Amino acid sequence: MSDWEVLALRYADRNARVRGDSFIFDDDHAAPHPMDYFMWLLRRGQEVILVDTGYDASEGARRDRPILIDPREALAAHGLVAEDIGTVIVTHLHYDHAGGLHLFPNATLHMQASEMAYATGPCMCHDALRMPFTGEHICEAVRRLYAGRVVFAEGDAEVAEGVTVHRIGGHSKGLQVVRVRTAAGWLCLASDATHFYENMALGKPFPIVADVAEMLDGFATLNRLASAPELIVPGHDPLVRDLFPQSGPESWILSNGPRKPLPTFG
Ligand SMILES: [Zn+2]
Ligand SMILES: [Zn+2]
């Protein structure tokens, strides 16, 4: 079978952040640290898989985190109609990854059983753990389940030939990453298993975390899953736009590898 093409689509950014929002242990907590928000598109001939859905303008208004582009419009720029998307991999159910589930009404969702259990279970009684989730997004996932369109994984699973998911946990109990075969080798979409290159490179946990030990173990798992360190793609790092070639407005092609070497940290 042929390799997959992988695109990163940026739908939002947030610049009023500091390093303290990104690293638990850091000696410069007040320094600016901007963040990008992505969804990812896998294509091979007529096959299309969407990895995460972003969120829409109403969620952006609710959280005062406006979007740059509606997720549906981001896909339309690639000739895709939201209603035609049949497969969505949900890396985890946080608002910025599952906030557009309702925009893709005909998709079957691939997620970890432990993520649904976490988002609908007793941990959500804690404000601090519930904060990155939005009830309506979780309800949409449950509605999809009752429509017979959720496929649960418990650990590792294949979604399509050349596309597998792997539970990492850590940041959210059922966070999974996506391993894709590309022309450049095995690429790993880390999503929030590492928000930034620096989290992984220096073993610095991100402050939104359900299990710190799992998050730290996850950095090693990412390195096992990808053919090379530069084929691990963090979930929110603006550096992705610098390292990989741009392929259109708010779109970067990942599957041919980066066009320059990874920077060193620390
Ligand atoms: Zn998250
Ligand atoms: Zn995120």
1 C-alpha to ligand 2 centroid (Å) = 31
Distance 192 CA to ligand 2 centre (A): 5
Q: Which ligand is nearest to the CA of 171?
A: 1
Q: Under a CB-based contact definition with an 8 Å cutoff, are residues 12 and 54 in contact?
A: yes
**Largest distance between two CA atoms of the chain:** 49
pLDDT in tens, 177-215: 999 999 999 999 999 999 999 999 999 999 999 999 999
Q: How far apart are CA 237 and CA 38, in angstroms?
A: 9
193 C-alpha to ligand 1 centroid (Å): 8
What does the pLDDT average to over 131-149? 98
Can you say how many angstroms the Cα of residue 17 is from the centroid of all Cα atoms in its chain?
Answer: 19
- How far apart, in whole angstroms, are the C-alpha atoms of residue 116 and residue 13? 27
Token pair listed for 83: 């209603």
Ligand sitting nearest the alpha carbon of 38: 2
1 Cα to the center of ligand 1, angstroms: 32
**What percentage of the chain has pLDDT greater than the value 70?**
100
Average pLDDT, the chain: 97
As a whole number, mean pLDDT of residues 140-146 equals 98
CATH topology classification for 5-167+236-253: Metallo-beta-lactamase; Chain A (3.60.15)
Q: Is the pLDDT of residue 26 over 90?
A: no
The reported pLDDT for the residue numbered 15 is 93
The rounded Å distance from CA 83 to ligand 2 centre is 24
Helix/strand/coil (H/E/C) assignment for every residue in 147-195: CCCEEEECCEEEEECCEEEEECCCCCCCCEEEEEEECCEEEEEEECCCC
Q: From ligand 1's centre to the CA of 45, what distance in Å?
A: 30
Residue 255: partners with Cβ closer than 8 Å, 6 or more residues away = 3, 4, 5, 6, 7, 180, 182, 183, 184, 187
Q: How confident is the model at residue 25 (pLDDT cuts 50, 70, 90)?
A: confident
When pLDDT is averaged across residues 96-123 and rounded to a whole number, the result is 98
Instruction: Provide mean pLDDT across the span 132-153.
Output: 98
Read off the pTM. Answer: 0.98
- Protein residues with C-beta less than 5 angstroms from the ion ligand 1: 94, 192
Question: Residue 207 C-alpha to ligand 1 middle, in angstroms?
Answer: 11
Task: Give the mean pLDDT of 100-112.
Answer: 98
What is residue 158's predicted lDDT score, i.e. its pLDDT? 98
Distance 90 CA to ligand 2 centre (A): 11
Q: Residue 220 pLDDT > 90, yes or no?
A: yes
79 to each of 70, 74, 75, 76, 105, how far by Cα in Å? Answer: 15, 9, 7, 5, 18
Cα–Cα distance measured from residue 24 to residue 207, given in angstroms and rounded to the nearest whole number = 5
pLDDT at 266: 83
Domain residue spans of the chain: 5-167+236-253
Over residues 59-90, the pLDDT tens digits come to 999 999 999 999 999 999 999 999 999 999 99
Query: What's the CA-to-centroid distance between 2 and ligand 1, angstroms?
Result: 31
Asked if residue 1 has pLDDT above 90, the reply is no
- Do 145 and 100 touch, CB atoms closer than 8 A? no
Q: pLDDT at position 191, please?
A: 98
What is the per-residue pLDDT for 211? 98
